[in-house]
């Protein structure tokens, strides 16, 4: 039976070659779109490492260049924020708050290893504001004021890549100057960029206002009590504006910022899915049309097979088998190309992403082929041998 199918396909090699080519390119596009979707879905299901609900981001822009005056005003604003009953915790950060559109990184080295890691400048209460859990060691705080090193907290990705199984607590990492970082804690996860991005190596560096007299930090993360709304926001900004006269102040919720970042991840997926759907529709129409045309031209062959004793189910299976063989030819070429991605570690994406996408794409192509062949094959199986032979 299989040998007979190959012979039939070879006899119509020109038209079948076009179908195989369509299936090949359809598979490649489907594989690319599914890889992106699988990548995003896998990331979405991983923990962020913090809680963004009921957290606001206050951005402050001073109207003067006087660092001393701005620092004094900033400290007054922080003290006033801690006095509000609606506010649970506050912490300064430096431009790369969760779901922000900015990034800061730095080189960290240990022994012969050197890694580029995301750096987050945050104040002592940042872990309370974001409700983060330190899995090993501790968070930095007032006990580090007398330390001769800069205390940092790292995420587990950085621990695995830089220390390779060693206990990082207490390890010293050289800075660009003569001082060093000292690892005091490890958090399991921290993905501040987006729910759809992979976790990168990162570390938290301490903002200690008395020790950073020449620096100004213009972003304040505020955790408010559940149910706190616009009325308190207006009251808070009004009081802060009274302290920082002439300062520009903007308030955004991390939830809104999360939604904006999520849209940026969804738009490419939706656009590629529409293109992929259009291509699949064209391939489906092509398969359906070619099968329908072949059946109309092969009435004599069908009638002869039926006259020689072939059942309707055998005729039905023959046409289904032809389509599956064509699909297999296209998929063999497509799979041979697609497996290069996990082998070569293209885009530094986990191999599991590619293999899952490949498996789903193969299954969808076979389902597409069977779905397109179902109705024409049933029509072929329903042809009466006497009618078919009479037409010849």
Residue at a domain's end among 187, 216, 246 = 246
Domain that residue 335 falls in: 2-45+262-391
Specify whether 297 is located in the same domain as 362.
yes
Asked if the structure places residue 303 within a domain, the reply is yes
Using alpha carbons, list the distances in angstroms from residue 149 to 176, 246, 283.
13, 37, 64
Whether 31 and 72 map to the same domain: the answer is no
Same domain, 87 and 15: no
Domain match, 305 and 182 both: no
Residue 134 located in a structural domain: yes
pLDDT at 390 over 60: no
User: What gap in Å lies between CA 57 and CA 202, rounded to an integer?
Assistant: 21
Shared-domain flag, residues 270 and 204 = no
- Are residues 136 and 202 located together in one domain of the fold? yes
Residue 292 lies in a domain: yes
Listing DSSP states for 162-207 in one string gives HHTTS--TT-EEE-SSS-EEEEEEEES----S-TTS----EEEEE-
pLDDT digits (tens, 9 = 90+) for 322-374: 788 888 888 989 999 999 988 887 778 889 999 999 999 999 999 998 888 88
C-alpha distance from residue 355 to each of 3, 46, 160, 227, 275 (Å): 31, 19, 24, 45, 22
Nearest to 8 by CA among 309, 322, 284, 240: 322
> For the segment 33-48, what is each residue's pLDDT rounded down to a tens digit?
999 999 999 999 999 9
Q: pTM score, two decimals?
A: 0.84
**Shared domain check, 101 and 31:** no
Locate 216 and state its tokens: 């100004």
Residue 264: Cβ within 10 Å count: 11
- Per-residue pLDDT tens for 186-245? 999 999 999 999 999 999 999 988 877 777 888 999 999 999 989 999 999 999 999 988
Same domain, 266 and 239: no
């Amino acid at each position: 039976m299989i040998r007979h199918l190959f012979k039939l396909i070879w006899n119509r090699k020109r038209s079948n070659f076009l179908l195989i080519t369509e299936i090949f390119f359809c598979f490649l596009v489907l594989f690319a779109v599914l890889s992106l979707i699988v990548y995003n879905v896998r990331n979405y299901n991983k923990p962020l490492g913090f809680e963004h609900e009921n957290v606001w981001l206050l951005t402050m822009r001073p109207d003067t260049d006087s660092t001393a005056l701005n620092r004094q005003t900033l400290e007054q604003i922080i003290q006033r924020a801690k006095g509000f009953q609606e506010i649970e915790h506050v912490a300064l950060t430096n431009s790369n708050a969760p779901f922000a559109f900015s990034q800061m990184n730095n080189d960290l080295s240990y022994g012969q290893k050197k890694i580029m890691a995301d750096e987050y400048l945050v104040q002592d209460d940042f872990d309370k504001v974001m409700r983060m859990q330190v899995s090993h060691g501790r968070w930095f705080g007032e006990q580090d004021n007398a330390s001769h090193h800069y205390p940092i907290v790292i995420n587990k990705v950085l621990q695995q890549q830089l220390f390779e199984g060693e206990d990082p607590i207490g390890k010293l990492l050289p800075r660009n100057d003569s001082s060093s970082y000292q690892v005091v804690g490890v958090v399991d996860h921290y993905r501040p960029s987006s729910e759809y991005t992979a976790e990168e190596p990162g570390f938290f560096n301490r903002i200690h206002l008395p020790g950073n007299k020449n620096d100004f930090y213009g972003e304040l993360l505020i955790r408010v009590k559940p149910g706190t709304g616009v009325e308190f926001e207006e009251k808070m900004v009004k009081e802060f504006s009274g302290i920082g006269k002439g300062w520009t102040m903007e308030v955004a919720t991390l939830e809104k910022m999360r939604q904006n970042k999520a849209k940026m991840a969804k738009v490419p997926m939706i656009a590629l899915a529409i293109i992929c759907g259009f291509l699949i529709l064209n391939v489906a129409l092509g398969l359906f049309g070619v099968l329908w045309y072949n059946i109309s031209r092969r009435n004599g062959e069908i009638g002869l097979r039926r006259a020689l004793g072939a059942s309707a189910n055998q005729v039905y299976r023959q046409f289904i088998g032809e389509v599956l063989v064509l699909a297999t030819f296209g998929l063999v070429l497509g799979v041979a190309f697609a497996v290069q991605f996990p082998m070569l570690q293209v885009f530094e994406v986990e191999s599991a992403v590619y293999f899952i996408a490949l498996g789903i794409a193969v299954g969808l192509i076979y389902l597409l082929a069977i779905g397109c062949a179902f109705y024409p094959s049933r029509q072929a199986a329903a042809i009466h041998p006497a009618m078919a032979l009479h037409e010849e």
